[in-house]
């Protein structure tokens, strides 16, 4: 029996190995999407593929580590995995989970020829082929248009690098050097984790390390059960729609039944619409990742991720539905179904546990590409970025203004000054979108970002859900406002859509990204009048809106609340 402090030291050592892998990859990658956007994850699992610890920059990768390791175990069998092996997978349907750009590498770790753990990492490669530069599009109709598929291939076989696979990857990428650079950096990071785990095995012995791993999983499970015991039990229902209109598909119904018992939390998505021929499907493993995000947020947001902690989570998604698509359905914008999945679960539980759930947020990443050939340099330019938006109000706070969506995390928007230097655009405003959900606590403000095109030509690709159906308010709070992408032509007039695919733009055209405001919480008439006055002074609302939504009468000259009139108004 190990003393509790040594056991904890070993546990910290294992978590530090996952962290160090994360830092190493970030430092060594040549790809901006890895080292700037942190669109990658690193973790360790036990010999069965159960997650021990994970470090990631975006929430979308919560299922990435464990299901990638389990996929390798399933395909090859434990007895056929040898020291010096390494596997690559981006197959969404067998375990990798997310779109083809995200490639996972799986490295088995041995102690005296016994498999004891896996080091796994997964990240967004810049380019993996397919019909569009950057490999993702908003109008693919099958997965074959979205890039090269790597279905658990043995890239290292007992220490021997498979050059044929390398050559296939290189031949299928528009930027082979950078793509292979991603692979090498990813491998180097895995080796760091491997050597740290081997050090721990050497220092403490196999039994002590294994005991420590079991304890990590057991502590995670215990903690989850404690939190579950504090939650209301029963069945909770919600529905919504995914309204991207990609490839012209109609709104897709999204349904969930959440069942909470003393020792489990189950999400049943039966009733959700079928997969579609637009890149807004996700695989069952993508669905698991999304389910883990919302489970994690609901149960205990600051608990480290491990499979003990996730063990009470059960997910049901019927085959063939949007949340359990299979080949050849396209998945390149799978963040859209994954995000609405998190949101519909939240919506089901909002009234039952307002202390753990705020109102709906703008939800869409509004992944954006503006690209073209620069008139002056004749070189291609590609502006790729997520948009930030408004978050929902909670029982104890207003919503946050301008934050990246739930599937993102340590993701940074591009500074205006950097955009203007690097791309032939002028940003004409970057400001709050005034429309938010009213409430005792108001929704957070979305953003308005205007790009004036200074080049003779360019093309716009983007997707924004919540284009018709705004983020929801609750407990009496009002709904927020929608996401919208508008193209204002220099000749006059504009068009507004949720999804744009390679839309031609001319010099002088203006693209306006409007991200939605979050939903409100509580009856707006309960918002303290002095807060409403503050909102007015800060020019978030007009005096008319103060009256219309909040029942507060503001004396605009004296800059005070007319207490008497307000009282009268609020009594009605």
Residues at the interface with other proteins (CB under 8 A): 3-6, 8-9, 12, 16, 20, 23, 27-28, 30, 32, 35-36, 56, 58-59, 181, 188, 219, 222-223, 226, 293, 296-297, 301-302, 346, 356-358, 388, 391-392, 394, 396-397, 400-404, 408-413, 415-418, 420-421, 426, 428-432, 447, 450, 537-540
- Report which secondary-structure segment, H or E, holds 198: helix 176-204
Shortest distance (Å) from residue 158 CB to other proteins: 26
43 versus 108: smaller Cβ distance to other proteins: 43
Beta carbon nearer to other proteins, 66 or 245? 66
CB of residue 379 to other proteins, shortest distance in Å: 10
Judged by beta carbon, residue 418 or residue 557, the one nearer other proteins is: 418
Tokens encoding 429: 């405003």
Q: At closest approach, how far in Å is the CB of 443 from other proteins? A: 13
10 Å Cβ neighbour count for 257? Answer: 18
CB of 564 to other proteins, least distance (A): 25
Q: At what angle do helices 206-229 and 176-204 cross, to 10 degrees?
A: 100
Supply the minimum distance, in Å, between the C-beta of residue 485 and other proteins.
Answer: 17
Rounded distance between C-alpha atoms, residue 470 and residue 390, angstroms? 11
CB closer to other proteins, 108 vs 470 = 470
Residue 89, SS3 per DSSP = strand
Structure tokens belonging to residue 293:
């995000």
> Would you call 396 exposed, middle or buried from its count of C-beta atoms within 10 A (0-12, 13-18, 19+)?
exposed
Q: Are 511 and 485 in contact (CB under 8 A)?
A: yes
Looking at beta carbons only, is 139 or 509 nearer to other proteins? 509
| Residue 198 beta carbon to other proteins: minimum distance, rounded to whole angstroms | 16
Distance of CA 131 to the CA centre of its chain: 24
State the Cα torsion 223-411-187-135 to the nearest 10°: 120
Choose between 279 and 402: whose C-beta lies nearer to other proteins. 402
How many residues comprise the chain?
572
Number of H helices, E strands in the chain: 13, 22
User: What is the gyration radius of the CA atoms in the chain, in angstroms?
Assistant: 25
Quote the least distance from Cβ 154 to other proteins, whole Å: 26
- Put the strands of the sheet holding 313-316 in their side by side order: 234-242, 252-260, 265-268, 313-316
First to last CA, the chain: 69
The CA–CA distances, whole Å, from 12 to 119, 132, 197, 248, 572 equal: 16, 43, 11, 50, 59
Strands 234-242 and 160-161: what pairing?
unpaired
Rounded CA separation 506/490 (Å): 8
Give 225: exposed, middle or buried? Use CB within 10 Å, 0-12, 13-18, 19+: middle
Nearer to other proteins, 35 or 144 (CB): 35
Q: What minimum distance in Å lies between the beta carbon of 447 and other proteins?
A: 6
- Of the two residues 231 and 293, which places its CB atom closer to other proteins in the complex? 293
| Residue closer to other proteins, measured from CB, 118 or 423 | 423
CA dihedral 73, 78, 83, 87 (to 10 degrees): -20
- Beta-strand pair 457-463/368-373: antiparallel
CB of 552 to other proteins, least distance (A): 17
Closer to other proteins by Cβ: residue 141 or 486? 486
Q: How far is the CB of 565 from other proteins (least distance, A)?
A: 23
Q: CB 275 → other proteins: shortest distance, Å?
A: 28
Query: Is residue 263 a contact partner of residue 229, using CB atoms and an 8 Å limit?
Result: no
Q: How far is the CB of 398 from other proteins (least distance, A)?
A: 10
What is the secondary structure of 526-571 as a DSSP string?
Answer: GS-HHHHHHHHHTTSS-HHHHHHHH---EETTTTEE-HHHHHHHHH
| Residue 362, CA distances (Å) to 87, 272, 331, 437 in order | 37, 21, 21, 11
Least gap, CB of 419 to other proteins (angstroms): 9
Rounded to 5 degrees, φ, ψ at 460 are: -115, 130
- Which C-beta is closer to other proteins: that of 56 or that of 66? 56
């Amino acid at each position: 029996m190990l003393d509790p402090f040594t056991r904890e030291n070993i546990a910290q050592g294992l978590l530090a190995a996952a962290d160090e892998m994360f830092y190493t990859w970030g430092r060594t990658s040549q790809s901006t999407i890895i080292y700037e956007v942190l669109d990658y994850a690193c973790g360790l699992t036990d010999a069965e593929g159960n997650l021990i610890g994970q470090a990631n920059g975006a929430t979308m990768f919560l299922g990435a580590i464990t299901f990638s390791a389990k996929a390798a175990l399933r395909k090859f069998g434990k007895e056929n995995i040898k020291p010096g092996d390494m596997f690559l997978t981006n197959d969404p349907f067998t375990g990798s989970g997310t779109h083809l750009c995200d490639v996972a590498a799986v490295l088995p770790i041995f102690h005296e020829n016994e498999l004891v753990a896996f080091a796994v990492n997964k990240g967004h490669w810049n380019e993996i082929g397919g019909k569009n530069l950057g490999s993702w599009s908003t109008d693919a109709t099958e997965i074959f248009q979205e890039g090269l598929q790597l279905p658990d291939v043995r890239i290292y076989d007992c220490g021997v690098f498979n050059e044929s696979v390398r050559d296939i990857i290189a031949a299928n990428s528009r930027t082979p050097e950078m793509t292979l650079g991603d692979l090498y950096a990813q491998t180097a990071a895995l080796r760091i984790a491997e050597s740290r785990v081997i050090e721990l095995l050497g220092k403490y012995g196999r039994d002590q390390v294994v005991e420590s791993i079991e304890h990590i999983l057991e502590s995670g499970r215990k903690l989850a059960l404690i939190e579950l015991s504090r939650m209301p039990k029963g069945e909770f229902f919600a529905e919504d729609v995914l309204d991207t209109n990609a490839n012209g598909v109609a709104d897709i119904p999204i349904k969930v039944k959440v069942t909470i018992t003393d020792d489990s939390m189950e999400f049943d998505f039966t009733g959700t619409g079928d997969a579609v021929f637009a890149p807004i499907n996700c695989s069952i493993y993508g669905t698991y990742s999304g389910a883990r995000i919302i489970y994690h947020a609901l149960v205990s947001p600051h608990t480290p991720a491990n499979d003990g902690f996730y063990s009470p989570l059960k997910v049901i998604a019927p085959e063939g539905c949007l949340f359990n698509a299979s080949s050849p359905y396209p998945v390149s914008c799978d963040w859209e179904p994954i995000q609405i999945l998190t949101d519909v679960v939240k919506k089901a539980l909002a009234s039952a546990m307002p202390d753990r759930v705020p109102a709906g947020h703008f939800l869409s990443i509004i992944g954006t590409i503006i690209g073209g050939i620069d008139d002056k340099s004749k070189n291609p330019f590609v502006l790729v970025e997520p948009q930030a938006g408004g978050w929902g109000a909670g029982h104890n706070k207003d919503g946050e203004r301008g934050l990246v969506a739930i599937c993102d995390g340590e993701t940074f928007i591009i500074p205006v000054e950097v955009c203007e230097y690097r791309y032939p655009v002028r940003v004409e405003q970057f400001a709050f979108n005034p429309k938010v959900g009213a409430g005792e606590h108001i929704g957070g403000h979305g953003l308005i970002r205007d790009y004036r095109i200074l080049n003779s030509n360019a093309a716009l690709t983007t997707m924004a859900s919540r284009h018709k159906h705004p983020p929801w308010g609750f407990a009496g709070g009002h709904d927020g406002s929608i996401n919208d992408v508008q193209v204002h032509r220099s000749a006059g007039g504009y068009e507004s859509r949720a999804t744009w695919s390679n839309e031609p733009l001319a010099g002088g055209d203006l693209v306006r990204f409007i991200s939605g405001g979050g939903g409100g919480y509580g009856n707006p008439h309960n918002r303290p009048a002095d807060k409403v006055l503050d909102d007015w002074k800060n020019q978030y609302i007009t005096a008319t809106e103060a009256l219309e939504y909040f029942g507060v009468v503001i004396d605009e000259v004296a800059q005070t609340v007319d207490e008497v009139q307000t009282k009268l108004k609020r009594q009605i």
